[in-house]
A and B are shown apart, each in its own frame.
Chain A
Amino acid sequence: MNFDFSDDQKQLRDQARKFLAEKCSPKAVRVVLDGKAPYDKELWKGLAEMGFLGVAIPEEFGGAGAGHLELCVIAEEMGRANAPVPFSSTVYLAAEALLIAGSDAQKKKWLPAIASGEAIGTLALFEGKGNPSPKNVKLTAANGVLNGVKKPVADGAIADFAVVAARTGSSGRDSDISLFLVDLKAGGVEVKSLTNLDPTRGQAEITFKDCKAEPLGAAGEGWSILTQVLDRAAVLCAFEQVGGSDRALEMGRDYALDRIAFGRQIGSFQAVKHMLADMYVSATLARSNSYYGAWALSTNAAELPEAAAAARISATQAFQHCAKNNIQVHGGMGFTWEFDCHMYYRRANAMALGLGSLSYWEDQLIDRMRKKNAA
């Protein structure tokens, strides 16, 4: 047993951290935050050049073929830097869906384009409020065309292609759902940007009108593929959330050491110390759960569904907890646009919803634990 990343993986982490510190300063993030660009194109190109976009994509499809542990390491750094790029939608969702269910031709077409930074992908699953569930998929697919509306679609306004969940049956079972691959630049779609909690990562509404689509994976397998995609993305997002938690904690700690009130560093007040200690505790629990998720993901272990849900819940809670208390430690300053605290607060709360809400994952976790216990 060895419950830690290897030295090589830690080296990769240092490399990614250094790269992002240089190319993804808070100032750079603010260009996107302030609406001056839909995402950081330069950074995206740089990430591709570093090989980070294709780190878990096999070499035969243009990636580095390293693996999911390496991707977890990079994800953590993306979260720490609050990177304003469509990383999660492209790399965790679209690429993973292709890896799990894509035909050879589909993989050859899209995976190298993802690795090289030429293509941005996303998953179009949600249709208004509600959690991931076959019954919440109303968009239909018939005769190779899609009709319906997806919203919110992460990075939908800048994506080149989307994996779309569509209804192909009416039996009331999971097998009613199939997945499709849509080239969003080929017409048949109408895309509208939506204002959202976290402007550093866009959300869109996409209307499909007799839009041509090719199946991704076998008909009727859509829900089972989606579940796998969401589980993998849950682990990868958890690492982003862990990175964000750590950074929020660090910001709070640094401010507590600098700011003087009543003639003392505010970090010497026990109420502030204990708040920061609790942030450390939740970030640590999230990190440990995420490591377990990383192990399950990288070995495709039978424990993955349970581990993914636990990592998801724990990391979501930790990021929200650290981000909100970071603002509290900063006092009035924390509530200003100038200070970076709100960027993490926004990201934490947006990420808490992106793969289905916390209560959805709580439900999943208990179901999965029950199944395991029954087995």
Chain B
Amino acid sequence: MNFDDTPQEAEFRATARAWINANAPKQYEEELRKSSLGRTVLKNADILEVAKAWQKKKADAGWACLHWPKEYGGRGSSPIERVIWQQEEGPFGQLSRMFIIGHGMCGPTMMAFAREEHKRTYLPPLASGEKVWCQLFSEPAGGSDVAGLRTRAEKDGDDWVINGQKIWTSGAHYSDYGILLTRTDPTVPKHKGLTMFFLDMKSPGVEVRPIKQASGASDFNEVYFTDVRIPDHQRLGEVGDGWNVSLTTLMNERSAIGAAVSTGFPELFEYCSSLMLDDGPAIEDRAVRSKLANWAVKASGLKYTSMRAISALSKGERPGPENSIGKLVAGSMIQDVATYALDLQGANGVVSGEDAELAGRFQAMLLRAPGTRVEGGTDEIMRNIIAERVLGLPGDIRVDKDVPFNKIPTKGRA
């Protein structure tokens, strides 16, 4: 049990720190430091442009996607070096949220299933942020039950022809490529008839329509496919094996999202430390302290859980379903934290945006939080994963398990 850097780790930290100090976009530091879930916007700049510029700079100097192999645009770093980098990058790390789907999910899936020449072509510009990727899994009829999706892929010569609709696709409106899960055989049970591809989002027949979220922002989209052609060499994994391929993506998704998700606690603690209530400083109020302490130990518990996972990773163990707990705990926590922060503001908590307390930081958090509990697998699905894969409890009863896909009912009520 050791929290101190080894000499090599200390040297790595010093090099990283020096480079960040000399190169980071310092003019945005203050704004990035204040950002929290629901509010990574920059006042006088396009956040995507700023994020891309920072990512490119990192890539040119060998600091992008640290844990990826060098030939794919990474640095071949150890998991611990990656953590050290994140610690040193601090608020500038907020900018890489723009690439989380590409770096966290699409990249690892490409690495595991794409042809070598494709890896060398597509991965470096993904690492450097020049090309942005999205994940086209969810559909109106296939969310938690991803395998219920209906987008068809039909073989036509050396190509596949895609027709159907995806939904909730984050970043599709600024993405260059996407990984796409399709149905290639509707006559077999649902998990057996799926196939995965990657495609150019600018292909003819792809149409992206932004969706306005509950928060008011538009980060995700509907994507329509009309006779979109994908060459067979862009298939990831075998025909009919798309379910297995997607499990690789989803496993990576959980650790990527789980590790990055914020809890809202540091913001709340800071707020309570300065806030004056009617009877004095909030931090001296018995009830406030009790709430804070409860959230403090959840936040620290998550932090040290991920450190334990990293220690396991650096000993060569694979990331397991345990990683589901990060998102599960942080998701409802941030919702509760935001609700509580507004409660402390009393009637004025109702005001959001620039006129609100702290320029609406907690209001924005409150309005974004419900999405965290849904994206990347809902709370219920996370609990199922823990119960089934960690604790070994029986799977849910699945009435459609052995039924050919085209015989499964499509509506709950007639």
Interface status of A256 (Cβ within 8 A of chain B): yes
Q: Which residues 1-51 of B sit at the A interface, judged by CB distance below 8 A?
A: 1-6, 9
Given A3-B310, A289-B300, A267-B294 contact (CB < 8 Å):
no
Contact A284 B283 (CB under 8 A): no
Known: A276-B393, A294-B1. A270 touches B297 (CB 8 A): no
CA distance A51 to B370 in the complex (A): 52
The contact string, 1 if C-beta is below 8 Å from chain B, for chain A 261-284, is 000110110101110111011001
- Specify which chain B residues have a CB less than 8 angstroms from the CB of A295 in the assembled complex: 1-3
Q: Are A365 and B391 in contact (CB under 8 A)?
A: no
Q: How far is the CA of A89 from the CA of B284 in the complex (A)?
A: 33
Chain A contacts with B in 293-329, Cβ cutoff 8 A: 294-295, 298, 301, 309-310, 313-314, 317
Output the residue of B1, B83, B314 with the most chain A CB within 10 A: B1
Whether B296 lies near A365 (C-beta < 8 A) is: yes
Question: Counting CB contacts under 8 A, is A28 at the interface?
Answer: no
Q: How many Cβ-Cβ contacts under 8 Å join chain A to chain B?
A: 158
Please report the C-alpha to C-alpha distance between residue A301 and residue B4 in the assembled complex, in whole angstroms: 11
Q: Which of A1, A249, A267 contacts B311 (CB 8 A)?
A: A1
In chain B between 262 and 319, which residues have their CB closer than 8 angstroms to a CB of chain A? 269, 273, 283, 286, 289-290, 292-294, 296-298, 300-305, 307-308, 310-312, 314-315
CB nearest to B397 among chain A residues: A268
- Interface stretch (choices B92-100, B152-160, B228-236, B381-389): B381-389
- Give the number of chain B interface residues (Cβ < 8 Å): 53
Instruction: Report Cα–Cα, A295/B300, bound state, in Å.
Output: 14
**CB <8 Å contact, B80 and A1:** yes
B24 to chain A, nearest CB (A): 24
Q: Does residue A41 face the partner (Cβ distance < 8 Å to B)? A: no
Of B110-118, B183-191, B251-259, B322-330, which stretch is located at the interface? B322-330
The interface stretch among A78-86, A163-171, A215-223, A366-374 is A366-374
A313 pairs with B294, CB closer than 8 A:
yes
B307 smallest CB distance to A (angstroms): 4
Report if A276-B391 is in contact (Cβ < 8 Å); known contacts: A3-B307, A270-B384: yes
Query: Is A257 at the interface (CB under 8 A from chain B)?
Result: yes
Query: A288 — which chain B residues lie within 8 A by C-beta?
Result: 300-305, 307-308
Q: Which residues on B sit within 8 Å (CB–CB) of A6? A: 1
* Interface residues in A, total, Cβ within 8 A: 49
The reply to whether B1 and A253 contact each other, CB–CB distance below 8 Å, is: no
Residues of A contacting B9 with CB < 8 Å?
1
Contact across chains for B396 and A270 when beta carbons are under 8 A apart: yes
The answer to whether B386 touches A277 (Cβ under 8 A) is yes
**Cβ–Cβ < 8 Å partners of A289 in chain B:** 297, 300-301, 304
Complex Cα–Cα for A307 and B76 (A): 33
Given A257-B393, A362-B293, A365-B293, answer yes or no on A3-B1 (Cβ-Cβ < 8 Å).
yes
Cross-interface CB contact of A359 among B80, B290, B297, cutoff 8 Å: B290
* A2:B289 contact, CB within 8 angstroms: no
Q: Does A338 contact B (CB under 8 A)?
A: no
The residue of chain A having its C-beta at the shortest distance from the C-beta of B5 within the complex is: A1
How many angstroms between the C-alpha atoms of A280 and B4 in the bound complex? 29
Chain B residue numbers with a CB within 8 Å of A3 are 1-3, 304, 307-308, 310-311
A363 at the interface (CB under 8 A from B): yes
Tell me, yes or no, whether B145 is within 8 Å of chain A by CB.
no
Chain B residues with CB under 8 A of A256: 393
Interface SS majority for chain B: helix
Residues of B within 8 A of A268 (CB): 393-397
- Chain B: CB-nearest residue to A6: B1
Instruction: Kindly provide the distance from the CB of B323 to the nearest chain A CB, expressed in whole angstroms.
Output: 11
- With both beta carbons as reference points, the residue of chain A lying nearest to B290 in the complex is identified as A362
Complex: A272 Cα to B387 Cα, angstroms:
9
Q: Decide if A60 is an interface residue (CB 8 Å cutoff).
A: no
Within the complex, the shortest CB–CB distance from B19 to chain A, in Å, comes to 21
Name which residue of chain A comes closest to B387, CB basis: A273
User: Is B350 in the interface zone, CB < 8 Å from A?
Assistant: no
Question: Contact between B304 and A291 (Cβ–Cβ < 8 Å)?
Answer: yes
Instruction: Indicate whether A265 sits within 8 Å of B394 (C-beta atoms), given known contacts A289-B297, A317-B297, A370-B273.
Output: yes
Chain A nearest CB, measured from B374 CB (Å): 16
Known: A310-B297, A365-B293. A274 touches B311 (CB 8 A): no
Q: Which residues of A contact B395 (CB under 8 A)?
A: 268
B392 interface contact, C-beta 8 A: yes
B238 an interface residue at 8 Å Cβ cutoff? no
Given A274-B387, A362-B289: A1 and B2 interface contact (C-beta under 8 Å): yes
**Complex contact A313–B307 (CB within 8 A):** no
Q: A285-B298, A366-B293 are in contact. Are A280 and B393 (CB under 8 A)?
A: no
Let me know if A5 is at the binding interface, CB within 8 A.
Answer: yes
Query: What residues of chain B lie closer than 8 Å to A47, measured between beta carbons?
Result: none
> Taking the complex as formed, is B380 at the interface, i.e. its CB lies under 8 A from any CB of chain A?
yes
Q: Which residue of A lies closest to B300 (CB)?
A: A310
Establish whether residues B302 and A285, one from each chain, have CB atoms under 8 Å apart when the complex forms.
yes
Across the interface, which residues of B come within 8 angstroms of A248, CB to CB?
none
Q: Is B390 an interface residue (CB 8 A)?
A: yes
For B382, what are the chain A residues with a Cβ–Cβ distance below 8 Å? 277
Q: In the complex, what residues of A have CB within 8 A of residue B315's CB?
A: 4
Minimal Cβ-Cβ distance residue in A for B4: A1
* Given A268-B395, A280-B387, 13 additional A-B pairs, CB 8 A: A1-B307, A1-B310, A2-B1, A3-B310, A3-B311, A4-B1, A4-B315, A265-B394, A276-B387, A281-B386, A295-B3, A301-B3, A314-B297
Interface residues of A (CB under 8 A from B): 1-6, 69, 249, 253, 256-257, 264-265, 267-268, 270, 272-274, 276-278, 280-281, 284-286, 288-289, 291-292, 294-295, 298, 301, 309-310, 313-314, 317, 359, 361-363, 365-366, 369-370, 373
A-B contact list, 7 entries, CB within 8 Å: A1-B3, A1-B4, A1-B80, A257-B392, A277-B384, A285-B305, A365-B297
Query: Closest 9 A-B residue pairs measured CB to CB?
Result: A285-B301, A362-B293, A288-B304, A273-B387, A268-B394, A277-B383, A277-B386, A314-B297, A288-B305
